[in-house]
Chain A
Amino acid sequence: MAPLVVVDGLCINAHGIDGREFPIVKDVSFTIEEGQVLALAGESGSGKTTIALAMLGHVRPGCRIVGGRIRVGDADVLSLTPAALRDLRGATVSYVAQSATASFNPALKLNEQVVEIALTHHLMRHAEAHARAVELYRGLALPDPEGIGECFPHQVSGGQLQRLMAAMALCAKPKLLILDEPTTALDVTTQIEVLKAFKNVIEIERTAAIYVTHDLAVVAQIADRIIVLNGGEIQEAGATNAIIERPSHAYTKTLMAAVRPPPKIGNGSDSKRIASSMPPIIEIKNVTAGYGGVDGSGNPRIPVLWNIDLAIRRSSVVGVIGESGCGKSTLARVIAGLLPWAAGTVLLDGAALPPRVKDRSREQLRKVQIVFQMADTALNPRHKIASILGRPLEFFHGKAGAGLKPRIAELLDMVRLPRSFADRYPTELSGGQKQRINLARALAAEPDLVLCDEVTSALDAVVGAAIIDLLKELRRELGVAYMFISHDLSTVASFVDEIAVLYAGRLVEAGDTRSVLAPPRHPYSDLLVSSVPELRIGWLEDTAAMRATKAALGGVVTSTVAGCAFADRCPFRIEGLCEREAPPARRTDAGLVIYCHRTLEELGSPRSDQR
């Protein structure tokens, strides 16, 4: 039988700002059989999304298909009339975008949007389409398949919305499904469920799929074949197990190395011994913080953090992890003075730190610097790099005029950027370069502590890994301490000395990296550790099978005032106790602290150990 999709010599050009054209996809050819999942893997800029969109006969503005052929089923995609192209899209080839939140109309019920394609193409009757939608919801393991379609998009979680988007794409029974980084924006714990659902529904529907991602560990779970792209060219193509187990191309190896080192390899870092003897630079004691002002009893109206205790030693790295919404970014904002805490104390170098920026001395301000996740919005697009880096020098160190230039050059050297960047504007820089400038700006103050808020999360794996390497080097050279916030356990585990795990605004476990990653573990840490995809085929099935034996892990985060925040998702919940009383702190000799009603012996028992 002829393959379902044939792409032959596809070339796509883009217009530069100066009007010249340059190639972004160079002579790409591949085929997809019916029911097969092909992964396009590569960093951003590798052309993977551009190729995927070309299957729909679509190119982004400023781009042009200059050569090649695309056949999907019997349609020659590139020679179709606009009307025929409209019939193709949605009905024969459909698309699932990265951000489901941005792809749903907030004013329409989910069902209306899911069945829309089938109805506009007159492929199904109304009742038939609705029945089909419910069938898909069931296949995607969505809760309450009959009722969920009556919800509005804001009433369901991000992971559910992503699955609903797959239902929308599949409703009209397309021959080819395009998934563009559909799990990248999700938390690891949610990602597993979504991946499993996608894999399941693709098997049931026998749809061919193109899975676009930068994450080879995810690819290994879902794809039959992999194409590794770099700079618009195919580097390596082959069956998934061949590529994962025996990568032959150097670029594939780089990509694999950058992707998620298993969190078990916490490299009990070299400066560990020195760091543990250092006095703390910052001590957070019993801090409660939130938004909306404080109520009569002194608690914030919308509390985000409860009774947090955390200390960061000089020159050490503390990783703060947890799912989105757990309050980890709020913690950084609290320390930086952007959000005054409602109760508790924070000590900087042993002296009390005022909650508000405006009450802090310049010296206190200098010692703590913050670096944000979104490199794009953290740099003012109207200022040159020189003035962005120059301001903290002027502000904290009174440097001005001619004195600035050598120091700016030094800072650029420090973050491994060419000195000529001083005359550029942020828009002329790539994401990784911008993040380096962000870091340089923080370092310009000569701080003792840098708060890194998801600094690598918005970057490609390879670029993010380079930033982590840079952070390590800077720490060695300058002795600066970091609080490294991330939702990605494997990133954190690779270089931090200590880990603090947050759940729904509470500290659930804290200690040095090795102790946190090894049993005994808090049930939530356990869930996090086991959710990080491994670069191994069959990992998804193993994990899912193991999950199935435990109840209630699919729940959503709820913030309760009393009891353990994790109680309703915890597989080891003790009824009548966990949801009522705050868990006690269980401490080990190694300095690990776990907040749980179960004893350390119980937590360390084989029942909770994954491996």
Chain B
Amino acid sequence: MSIEVAGERALARRRLRLSGTAWVGASIVAFWIAMAIGGAWLAPYDQGTLVSDNIFDPIGSRFLLGTDYLGRDMLSRLLVGARTTLGLAGIATALAIFIGAPLGMLAAVIGGWVDMALSRAVDALLSIPTLLFGLVIVAAIGSYIPVLLVAAALAYAPGHFRLARALSMDMNVMDFVEVARARGESPWWIARQEILPNIVMPLLTDFGLRFVFVVLFLSGLSFLGLGVQPPDADWGSMVRENLAGLSDGYAAALIPATAIASLTIGINLVIDSLSARAGRDISRDGA
């Protein structure tokens, strides 16, 4: 008895221990989340005000990251933009997983024509390139924040659906699901109680991965001028705005691009360690 309790504690300790790279990733992500929350207060200037007489001021003591193509403070815009970028991507990814994953689990549990219909519909959605899909919706309805969110959610829900369905299919043949089925449980109960707890780790991993895609998707839309509209700051649109300066050697376009890259890398580092551990968990349970 006491050995097992001690074992559980050791396990809990091991769960908290992250690898070195995961720590780096987690620090980057934590930094950007902190900026998304508190960035607006930390920003030295208003993000929309022309604070400098010059455009493309270089990095310096007055404007820590220089100014953009209109003479606005880059640092302030980057900090305020963090909230837009992370917030939008977070909400859109959450929407996508809440649409995709339950449908995927149900498709696997119910099977038959329900599975067939859902899967073919998802295949159809997947056959449209994501960015094109977003472009069509935004171009047709207009570039409003809710439209952007729905477009991103619809574009990424099929991926969640496919993963949730594949994972659930593996669980679906397990005897404990058969037992629940023989008891007469509803498909929704089986999906929620028997399947979800076993697939939640890979689903979360996928959430993190797809969050990055959504950041890139929204940045892409912004870059094309269909995303977040000026004068609101958003990392994607900031890259586009300042692109003209790039050929003249100004760093303004690189700064938001670096921010996007660092967030992407950070999240991926965390995910890698999470998925490695999910693999270990599964192998331990299997033993």
Q: Does the CB pair B182–A379 fall under 8 Å?
A: no
Residues on A with C-beta less than 8 A from B176 are 377-380
Which B residue's beta carbon lies closest to that of A441?
Answer: B179
- List residues 250-287 of chain B with CB under 8 A from any CB of chain A: 284-285
Contact between A337 and B10, CB atoms less than 8 A apart: no
Which residue of B4, B7, B184, B284 is within 8 Å of A360 (Cβ)? B184
Which residue on A lies nearest to B186, using beta carbons?
Answer: A358
Q: Decide: B198 and A427 in contact? CB cutoff 8 A.
A: no
Q: How far is the CA of A362 from the CA of B186 in the complex (A)?
A: 12
Q: Is the CB of A365 within 8 A of B183?
A: yes
Chain A residues, CB < 8 A from B9: 18
Q: In the complex the two chains form, what is the Cα distance from A229 to B6 in whole Å? A: 29
Hey, which chain B residues are within 8 Å of A357, CB to CB? 181-182, 184
Asked whether B7 lies within 8 Å of A17 as measured between CB atoms, the reply is yes
Residue of A nearest to B200 (CB): A382
Q: How far is the CA of A407 from the CA of B210 in the complex (A)?
A: 45
Instruction: List the A side residues contacting B198 at CB < 8 Å.
Output: 380-382
Contact with B197, one of A360, A370, A379, A382 (Cβ below 8 angstroms): A382
Q: Does B3 contact A (CB under 8 A)?
A: yes
Whether A338 and B182, one on each chain, are in contact in the complex, defined by CB atoms closer than 8 angstroms, is yes
**B191 CB, min distance to chain A CBs, angstroms:** 13
Contacts of B3 in A (CB 8 A): 16, 18
Q: Is the CB of B179 within 8 A of A17?
A: no
Chain A nearest Cβ from B245, distance in angstroms: 53
CA distance A501 to B10 in the complex (A): 51
A360, A362, A380: the one contacting B194 at CB < 8 Å is A380
Find the B residue at minimum CB distance from A380: B176
Does B232 make an interface contact (CB < 8 A)?
no
Closest Cβ of chain A to B126, distance in Å, is 29
> Shortest distance in angstroms between B53's beta carbon and chain A's nearest beta carbon?
62
B41 CB, nearest partner CB in chain A, Å? 41
Q: Which residues of B contact A396 (CB under 8 A)?
A: 183
Contact B175 A392 (CB under 8 A): no
Q: Is the CB of B175 within 8 A of A372?
A: yes
- How many Å lie between the Cα of A190 and that of B174 in the bound state? 28
Name the residue of chain A whose CB is nearest to the CB of B282. Answer: A381
Q: Which residues of B contact A427 (CB under 8 A)?
A: 284-285
A445 touches B (CB below 8 Å):
yes
Contact residues in A for B7 (Cβ distance below 8 Å): 16-18
A573 CA to B11 CA, complexed, in Å: 63
Alpha-carbon distance A381/B10, docked complex (angstroms): 19
Residues of B within 8 A of A53 (CB): none
Chain A residue contacts of B285, Cβ below 8 A: 381, 427
CB of B208, distance to nearest CB on chain A (Å): 21
**Cβ-based interface call for A336 (8 A):** yes
- Alpha-carbon gap, A473 to B198, bound state (A): 35
The listed residue (A16, A378, A428) touching B179 by CB distance below 8 A is A378
Q: Tell me whether B123 is interfacial, beta carbon within 8 Å.
A: no
Pair A383/B11 contact, Cβ less than 8 Å: no
Interface centre among A378, A381, A383, A395 (most CB of B within 10 A): A381
Q: Kindly report which residue of chain B lies nearest to residue A388, judged by CB atoms.
A: B176
A381 neighbours in B (Cβ, 8 Å):
198, 285
B6 engages A365 (CB within 8 Å): no
Is A19's beta carbon under 8 Å from chain B?
Answer: yes
* B185 on interface, CB distance cutoff 8 Å: yes
Restricting to A409-465, which residues have a CB under 8 Å from any CB of B?
427-428, 441, 445
Classify chain A: how many residues form its interface, as a range.
20 to 34
Residues of A contacting B179 in the complex (Cβ-Cβ under 8 angstroms)? 370, 372, 378, 441
Q: How large is the interface on B (under 10, 10 to 19, 20 to 34, 35 or more residues)?
A: 20 to 34
Nearest CB to that of B174 among chain A residues? A377
Q: In the complex, what residues of A have CB within 8 A of residue B181's CB?
A: 338, 357
Q: Which residue of A lies closest to B184 (CB)?
A: A365
A374-B175, A377-B176, A428-B4 as given contacts; A445 in contact with B183, CB under 8 Å: yes
Residue on B nearest A358 in the bound complex, by CB:
B184
Q: Is the CB of B178 within 8 A of A372?
A: yes
Task: Decide if A338 touches B178 in the complex (CB within 8 Å).
Answer: yes
Report B286 CB to chain A, min CB distance, Å.
8
B182 contact from A16, A337, A380, A391, Cβ within 8 A: A337
A358–B189 Cα gap in the complex (Å)?
14
Cα–Cα, bound, A383→B194 (Å):
8
Cβ-neighbour of A18 out of B10, B178, B193 (below 8 A): B10
* Chain B residues with CB below 8 A from A365, complex form: 182-184
Complex Cα distance, B9 from A358, in Å, reads: 43
How many whole Å from A388's CB to the nearest CB in chain B? Answer: 8
Bound complex: CA A336 to CA B178 (Å): 10
CB-CB under 8 A for A392 and B183, given A380-B194, A382-B197: yes
CA distance A427 to B7 in the complex (A): 13
CB-nearest residue of chain A to B197: A382
Whether B184 contacts A362 by the Cβ 8 Å rule is yes
- A residues 354-404 touching B (CB-CB < 8 Å): 357-358, 360, 362, 365, 369-370, 372, 374, 377-383, 391-392, 395-396
Against A, the Cβ 8 Å flags (1 = close, 0 = not) of B151-191 are: 00000000000000000000000111011111111000000
Give the docked Cα–Cα distance between A374 and B176 (Å).
Answer: 10
Cα separation A306 to B3 with both chains bound (whole Å)? 53
Contacts of A336 in B (CB 8 A): 182
Closest to A19 in B: B10
Which chain A residue has the least Cβ–Cβ distance from B177?
A380
With contact pairs A377-B174, A380-B176, A380-B194 given, residues A395 and B4 touching in the complex (Cβ less than 8 Å): no
Contact present for B183 and A18 (CB under 8 Å): no
Among residues 1 to 41 in chain B, which have CB atoms less than 8 Å away from a CB atom of chain A? 3-4, 6-7, 9-11
- How far in angstroms is the closest Cβ of chain B from A294? 15
- Which of chain B's residues have a CB closer than 8 A to the CB of A362? 184
Q: How far is the CB of B134 from chain A (nearest CB, A)?
A: 36
The smallest C-beta distance from B76 to any residue of chain A, in angstroms, reads 46
* Bound Cα distance from A48 to B57, whole angstroms: 76
CA distance A358 to B184 in the complex (A): 6
Q: Give the residues in chain B near A19, CB-CB below 8 Å.
A: 10
Question: How does the 8 Å CB contact mask read for B121-154 relative to A, with 1 for contact and 0 for none?
Answer: 0000000000000000000000000000000000
In addition to A370-B178, A441-B179, 18 A-B residue pairs with Cβ atoms within 8 Å of each other are A16-B3, A18-B3, A18-B6, A18-B10, A337-B182, A338-B181, A357-B184, A360-B184, A365-B184, A370-B179, A378-B175, A378-B178, A380-B194, A381-B285, A383-B193, A391-B180, A427-B284, A427-B285
Selected A-B contacts with CB under 8 Å, 12 pairs: A18-B10, A19-B10, A358-B184, A370-B182, A378-B179, A383-B197, A391-B180, A392-B183, A395-B185, A396-B183, A427-B285, A428-B4
Closest 7 CB pairs of A and B: A382-B197, A378-B175, A17-B7, A372-B175, A18-B10, A365-B184, A380-B176
